[in-house]
Amino acid sequence: MTQVMMMQEGNQLTAFLSGEIDHHWAAVMREQIDETLKATTPQKLILDFSGVTFMDSSGVGLILGRYRLMNSWKGTVVVQKAPASIKRMLAIAGIESKD
């Protein structure tokens, strides 16, 4: 099952993503993340992909949209722990993933 768990520590929000990120689930995740972002306005958003088993281009859109939102608040986004197959897709899109 695809889901997002969020943990806030000070000015940092970490979204732990798991399952498959396709068109449908990317929209669900986006809503959940954005609700929390708007309620907490952190300076840093970490998107943790360690639990993601599949991602299509909708996942790239999910990331880029959070970059735009956080940038409007002068915040930052970090993508971390993406599996190798997803790292390749992110690299093609120009998105860096930290381990």
**What is the pTM for the complete model shown?**
0.94
Angle ∠(45,81,35) on CA atoms, nearest 5: 30
Encode pLDDT of 34-82 as tens digits: 999 999 999 999 999 999 999 999 999 999 999 999 999 999 999 999 9
Encode pLDDT of 28-46 as tens digits: 999 999 999 999 999 999 9
Give the integer Cα–Cα distance in Å for 88 and 83. 9
Backbone angles phi, psi at 56, to 5 degrees: -105, -170
Structure tokens at 51: 């639990």
DSSP character string of 24-58: HHHHHHHHHHHHHHHHH--SEEEEEEEEEEEE-HH
